[in-house]
Amino acid sequence: MAAILKNMNWFLVKEEVEAVKVVVVVVVEVVVLVEVEVVVVVVVVVVVVVVVVVVVVVVVVKVVVVVVIVVVVVIEIVVVVVVVVVEIVVVVEVVVVYSSSSSSSSSSSSSSRSSRSIVVVVVVVVVVVVVVVVVVLVVVVVVVVVVVVVVVVVVSSLVVVVVVVVVVVVVVVVVVVVVVVVVVVVVVVVVVVVVVVVVVLVVVVVVVEVVVEVVVGAVVVVVVVVVVVVVVVVVVVVVVVVVVVVVVVVVVVVLVVVVEVVVVVVVVVVVVVVVVVVVVVVVVVVVVVVVVVEVVLVVVEVVVLVVLVVVVIIIIVVVVLVVVVVVVVVVVVVVVVVVVVVVVVVVVVVVVVIVVVIVVVVVEVVEEDLVDDKW
């Protein structure tokens, strides 16, 4: 009996040690999964920061390029203006020298002087018109090029920034969803494992205790019955041999009945215990399955909601990008058209003014020549 109890105690201790091992393994796996998720989140954050830095550097480089282009254009305009001024000065000097020489010459006639004056005026006017038209055309071309370059740089930078924002949002949402799903799954697994271990341990302990108690009770009953039977047999033997025979028969019958009763009781107790344990295990399993199903449904709902949010964000970003691009293109077209119209108007006005000046000058020269001829 002592050996049986010793074996039972050793079995219970072994089951408790196994349960502790299972719990320790589950805890270690949970810690490892959490560390892995933290590493993944850190890596994603570092990648997003690097991408944002690269985008900022690209935008800064584009802005520097635009500034350099504007500076070059300004320098070209200044050079053109200087050249025009120099040409005008040269033409004026030539005209002055030519007029001086023509006035100092005494052999020239009035008609020749008139012709020379008209030629000089026409030459000056033509040079000025050509210079003005060239300057205007250069300014128009430079302005249009600058506007187009600025628009292209702004639109491309905006597109890059929007794409980066969308990518960052999608990556962050996906990481959050993955972390949530992994945490929920780990929690569910831990709960299920702990519940199963506890249920198995309780069932084993209950069954072993019931079996030990039933066996001990049965052994005690048998020992008491045997002692009583031995005493009765001794008394009966002393009294009468016949009675001994009868008593032996009765005792045998009683022993058989007692053994059968003990066996029936043991079987009934074991059956009841097994039924109770099975019912408890079934209830616990059903509860665990229901909990797992509910958790999975919640995780699925969360994932679907997150995906919908990401889709809505992407649609909003794309719409905003399209609107911005359309607005920028319209603004560029309007600016270019306005610049071209202004330049054309300026050129026309300048040409008209020059033509009027030419006509006025020619008329005055002709009138002076006519007056000179008359005198």
For residue 238, being part of any structural domain is answered with no
Q: Write down the pLDDT at residue 34.
A: 61
Rounded CA separation 124/127 (Å): 5
Residue 232 in any domain: the answer is: no
Residue 332 in contact with residue 147, Cβ under 8 Å?
yes
CA distances from 207 to 77, 160, 211, 278 (A): 102, 70, 6, 11
2-104 and 110-239 helices cross at what angle (nearest 10)? Answer: 180
Residue 120 lies in a domain: yes
Which pTM does this prediction carry? 0.47
Instruction: Say if 165 falls within a structural domain.
Output: yes
3-class secondary structure, 106: coil
- For 67-94, write each residue's pLDDT tens digit: 777 677 677 667 766 776 676 666 666 6
Inside any domain, residue 227: no
Range of the domain at 135: 2-99+110-211+310-374
Q: How far apart are CA 213 and CA 269, in angstroms?
A: 10
CA atoms within a 13 Å half-sphere pointing along the CA-CB vector of 185: 11
Number of domains in the chain: 1
Inside any domain, residue 243 = no
3-30 pLDDT per residue, tens: 444 454 554 555 555 555 655 666 666 6
Asked whether residue 193 is domain-assigned, the answer is yes
Q: What number is the average pLDDT over the span 120-148?
A: 68
Select the highest-mean-pLDDT range: 73-82, 99-108, 177-186, 312-321. Answer: 312-321
Residue 127 located in a structural domain: yes
pLDDT by residue (tens digit) across 341-368? 777 777 777 777 767 776 776 676 666 6
